[in-house]
Structures are given as C-alpha cells and as structure tokens.
Structure 1
Amino acid sequence: MVLCVVCGRENARYRCRNCRAAYCCSACHKTHRDPERPNHCESIQPPSNETGGKNEVEESTDRTDAKEFQTLGSKNGNTALEGHDARLKRGREGETNFIEGERDEDGELVVLGEAHLSELAHDTNIRKKLLSSELQQLLRVIDASRSRIDALEAAMANTPEFKEFCDEVLGVVSAAERGLRPGM
C-alpha cells in the first residue's frame, strides 16, 4: 500500500517521473510539481562540485533520508512523525508493487507491473502482431469504448485473430509471473 505524498491517501497508483514520489490523482500531481507547495518535486540535478562528487542515486537517497521524519497530516487532522523503519517498509512495498504489479484480496494480478510490461514490450511475436492496422484499430475502439470489458469480450468472441493475440499476451504475462514467483 503506497501513500500519496500530497494528500496522504492510500493506493497511490502513479509516480512522478522526476523523483519517483507516489501520488493518487492528477490534482495531487499538479500540486506536487508546484515549487511553492510543501512536498514539491525535487527533480534530480546533475552531479556538481557542491555535492562532493556524489552520483544521482546517492543524491536521491540523501533527499529521501532528509525527508524521513517529515511531518504529515493524518486522516483526522492531527500530525504525526513518521519513523525511518515505517518509511523504508512502505518504500519497499511501493517498489514491489511498481515492479510486480498490484493484486486484489485473492492474490489475482489486477494491474501489470514494470516486469510484465517489459516482457510484453520485448516479445517479438506480440510486436509483429501489433504491426497489423486492423489490430491497432480494434485496440483503439476497445480503449475508447464506454464499457471496455464488454468491448473486449465482444472482440474476443467475434475476431479469432484478436483472441489469438489476447492468448499470446496472457501467455507472456503468465511466463513473466512465473519468473517473478518461482514457487508457482
């Protein structure tokens, strides 16, 4: 469970491209980018003489460590200090969700993680199939549909090539899942 750096809500699904801070919605992202607000984005600066030769990773770690006792508003309006251990634990869980994806209560994968997306992007069969203009158009129609699930099910029932593509995608995701969880 990842907390939004702006409003403190749980299940922050998005991350800042510059500093990797988690946020829950576009309004929080805009607030996070505003340099006049607390918790604003501190984008990584190139190494200079002032940093003593530290690289970007070390500078990012230093910024994270500097924020570890930052005062955050709790849900009932009180303030609380977050300790180092709680922040590190939450950071590890957030990175795991980002890499492995998010799961529901039953343990089913509901949002693909970076590892799954990387496998899909590098699969040559999927890349070849995505060159088809018919498949591209069908994917656009499904994405623009009001009920994407219904449109997806209809496309799978009516278009054998699309069903084959979906089966291939599920196979790649399943293989990536086995790679992430060797005991499966």
Structure 2
Amino acid sequence: MQVCNVCREKTPKYRCPACKIRYCSLDCYKSHKDICLPVEQPAPVPPEAKAASNTEPWTVEDLLHDEDVTDKVPLQRLQQLGQSKELQDLLCNPHLRQLLRTIDSADSKPDAMKVAMQEPLFVEFSDRCLKIVDNEAKSLPSIETDDL
C-alpha cells in the first residue's frame, strides 16, 4: 500500500504535476509545493557521445582521498549501501532521484542539504543510509580490555 510522500500517513489520491510525487490532501500539497523540485527531462545524448562515455568517469575510490574528509566510511561499508534492497526501492522514486541530482549539482551543497532535509522522503533515505552504515559498524568485532 502506498502512503503520502508528504505526511506519510494517508493513502495518496493525487500526483504533483511538476515532480510526480504522490500526496493525499490540499494541506500536503501546500506544504510540498514550497520545496517541489520539478523532474527534469534529460537532454538527448548524441550517439557519438554515448560511445565516448562507455567508461565510468570516476570510481568510489577516486572520491575517498585522505585530504578530503576526516570522518570516512570504509569502502566495505559503502558497498553495503549498494546492496541494500531498501535503498534500491527508495531510489526508484523519481522525486528522490531529482533531490539527489539537485544536491549533487548545487554550488552550495550545505544549503542544498538543508533544503532537502525538509523533505520527508529525503530524511527517510538519509536515515536508512545511516542505519545501514551504523549497523555495519556495530557488527565489526570490538576489542575488549579484558582480552588484552
């Protein structure tokens, strides 16, 4: 059963014409329209550009440089995110994908994150990501002082 993407309580009856998320009432629509991000139609890619883009422009390892951040999630835990059925299901939502694209292309990523965190769907996505990473961290063996 589907639930409203705004209040997460009722069955949705309507779909936003701009971003296609589902909502249940006028109140939900009013609260959503202030942060609505219309779905952008991708520009057609010429065949010669498709052939040139067969190789991935970057890898996860390229993003994990020591000088970039002090708190990092190990690659093994990041791979757990890619294997999560829950996250895959969430990423089927075009509104969430658009939110992620908007954050990725923003000049001020912290400001874009603040806006996205007002969206219940994005909060659910980020909570699930953190839960997967945190659960994985808790499952790693710890050293007890009695063992030393």
Larger radius of gyration: 1
Which structure has more relative contact order (CA 8 Å, sep 6+)? It is 2
Q: TM-score, normalised by structure 2?
A: 0.48
Q: TM-score, normalised by structure 1?
A: 0.39
- The structure with the greater share of residues assigned to strand is 1
